[in-house]
């Protein structure tokens, strides 16, 4: 497939409910939206003083201190979501390393990375599943690892990541870890504390684990060089004041973190068991994911597309992968699981009918 075809099909994300609602002629309010990996339980919004709404945002030293503690790192930049970094990075990197040309990105994974590097004129090399062979990495190259990967849920361990980090440094390259969903992975496997020079960057997304993607805040863990570059590029009002206050409270609230992890884990276990029970091993090959999303792969190539459509007809919105081979379900709240269950039952029934009529 050429890049233009690839990009046309891939820069569609979950969370486009208005568009889908219009397509299926069901009012937006009547949908169960499981199309993203955003936690269904949100951090409660604290009281925000009127002055914070009135004034221009200022960089909050309290937020920086609490974020360093939460992410266990030396230095970071507060951003308007990690997407802001993904978009700006390729151009900045070209200025830093004019020899750089090659970027390794996951074939299945958040496609904004590949798109941003491609737009800046880099040559893309896709890897599937395993990381690219370490001995074949090019000098001055960039390696993007999404850990855990979205949508496969694949987690890469520290030992392996450290080898790639050392190799990229030796090659005068750049090692980028996107840890947007890592907050729910047990035993904190984050690489944030391993950032020690300008050859490694870690992206942290706030909105997913805290269930507040709409406030647009995220973090870049980096060394002094990159922090200065991004601060200069992003300017003084990158993150609004209310978002900073909310994030400061949320990142400090360790009891809530534990509670959130436990709740998401039990919702995920329940939903995963339910999806197996409803779709069965006859239809589903495997379910991968983490406590923020579950991705179903099917034995038959066209099942995902058909089930996606049958669920949309009932106002259930999940994410059909770009390759149209898998379905990703966000984790639903306790109250929404009954609806998911009956819609999936109906979808299976309709799918069988379609098969019997030869469609």
Ligand X SMILES: Cc1ncc(COP(=O)(O)O)c(C=O)c1O
Choose between 264 and 347: whose C-beta lies nearer to ligand X. Answer: 264
Interface residue with ligand X among 40, 81, 153, 289 (CB under 6 A) is 81
Note whether 60 binds ligand X by CB under 6 A: no
Asked if 146 touches ligand X (CB under 6 A), the answer is yes
Alpha carbon 348 to chain centroid distance?
29
Compute the least distance from the CB of residue 78 to ligand X, in Å: 12
Give least dist CB 333 to ligand X, A: 19
Residue 196 CB partners (closer than 8 Å, separation 6+): 223
Cβ neighbour number for residue 358 with a 10 Å cutoff: 5
Number of residues that bind ligand X (CB under 6 A): 12
Contact 173, 105 (CB under 8 A): no
**From 78-86, 90-98, 168-176, 287-295, span contacting ligand X (CB under 6 A):** 78-86
User: Of 55-63, 79-87, 88-96, 319-327, which part binds ligand X (CB under 6 A)?
Assistant: 79-87
Verify binding: residue 213, ligand X, rule CB under 6 A. yes
- Binding span for ligand X by CB under 6 A among 81-89, 116-124, 237-245, 272-280: 81-89
Site string for ligand X, 259-288 (x = CB under 6 A): ------------------------------
Minimum separation from the CB atom of position 13 to ligand X (A): 6
Q: Does 150 bind ligand X (CB under 6 A)?
A: yes
User: Is residue 218 near ligand X by the rule CB under 6 A?
Assistant: yes
Cβ closer to ligand X: 82 or 314?
Answer: 82
* CA proximity to 296, closest of 272, 274, 326: 326
Minimum separation from the CB atom of position 38 to ligand X (A) = 8
Q: Is 332 in the site for ligand X (CB under 6 A)?
A: no
CA distances to 61, 70, 96, 174 from 243, rounded to whole Å, are 14, 17, 31, 30
Q: Which residues contact 246 (CB under 8 A, 6 or more apart)?
A: 43, 45, 46, 48, 212, 215, 217
Tell me: does residue 230 bind ligand X (CB under 6 A). no
Between 178 and 291, name the residue whose CB sits nearer to ligand X.
178
205 binds ligand X (CB under 6 A): yes
User: Does position 83 bind ligand X by CB under 6 A?
Assistant: yes
Closest CB to ligand X among 90 and 207? 207
Tell me the closest approach of the beta carbon of residue 323 to ligand X, in angstroms: 16
Residues 153-192 that bind ligand X (CB under 6 A): 178, 180
Least distance in angstroms from the C-beta of 36 to ligand X: 7
Please state, in angstroms and rounded to a whole number, the distance separating the CA atoms of residues 66 and 252.
6
Looking at the Cβ atoms of 289 and 314, the one nearer to ligand X is 289
Q: Which residues pair with 203 in a beta bridge?
A: 178, 220
CA-wise closest residue to 130 among 101, 102, 99, 164: 164
Nearer to ligand X, 295 or 303 (CB): 295
- Interface residues toward ligand X, by CB under 6 A: 81-83, 110, 146, 150, 178, 180, 205, 207, 213, 218
């Amino acid at each position: 497939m050429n890049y233009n075809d690839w990009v046309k099909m891939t820069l569609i994300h979950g969370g486009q409910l208005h568009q889908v609602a219009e397509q299926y002629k069901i009012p937006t309010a009547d949908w169960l939206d499981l199309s993203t990996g955003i936690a269904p339980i949100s951090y409660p919004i604290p009281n925000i003083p009127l002055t914070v709404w009135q004034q221009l945002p200022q960089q909050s030293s309290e937020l920086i201190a609490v974020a360093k503690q939460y992410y266990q790192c030396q230095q970071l930049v507060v951003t308007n979501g990690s997407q802001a970094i993904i978009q700006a990075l390729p151009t900045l990197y070209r200025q830093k390393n004019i020899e750089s040309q090659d970027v390794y990105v996951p074939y299945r994974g958040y496609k904004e990375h590949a798109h941003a590097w491609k737009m800046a004129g880099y040559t893309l090399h896709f890897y599937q599943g395993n990381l690219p062979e370490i001995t074949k990495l090019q000098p001055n190259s960039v390696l993007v690892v999404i850990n855990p990967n979205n949508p496969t849920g694949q987690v890469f361990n520290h030992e392996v990541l450290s080898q790639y980090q050392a190799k990229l440094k030796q090659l005068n390259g750049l090692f980028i870890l996107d840890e947007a969903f890592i907050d729910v992975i047990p035993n904190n496997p984050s690489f944030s504390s391993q950032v020690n020079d300008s050859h490694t960057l870690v992206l942290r997304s706030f909105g997913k684990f805290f269930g507040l993607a709409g406030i647009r805040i995220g973090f870049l863990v980096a060394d002094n060089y990159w922090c200065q570059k991004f601060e200069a590029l992003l300017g003084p009002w990158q993150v609004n004041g209310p978002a900073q206050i909310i994030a400061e409270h949320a990142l400090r609230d360790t009891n809530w973190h534990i509670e959130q992890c436990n709740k998401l884990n039990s919702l995920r276990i329940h939903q995963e068991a339910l999806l197996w029970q409803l779709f069965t091993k006859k239809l589903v090959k495997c379910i991968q994911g983490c406590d923020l999303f579950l991705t179903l792969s099917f034995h038959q190539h066209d099942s995902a597309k058909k089930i996606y459509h049958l669920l949309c007809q009932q106002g259930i919105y999940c994410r059909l992968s770009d390759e149209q081979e898998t379905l990703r379900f966000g984790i639903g709240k306790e109250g929404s699981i009954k609806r998911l269950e009956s819609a999936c039952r109906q979808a299976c029934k309709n799918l069988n009918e379609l098969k019997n009529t030869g469609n």
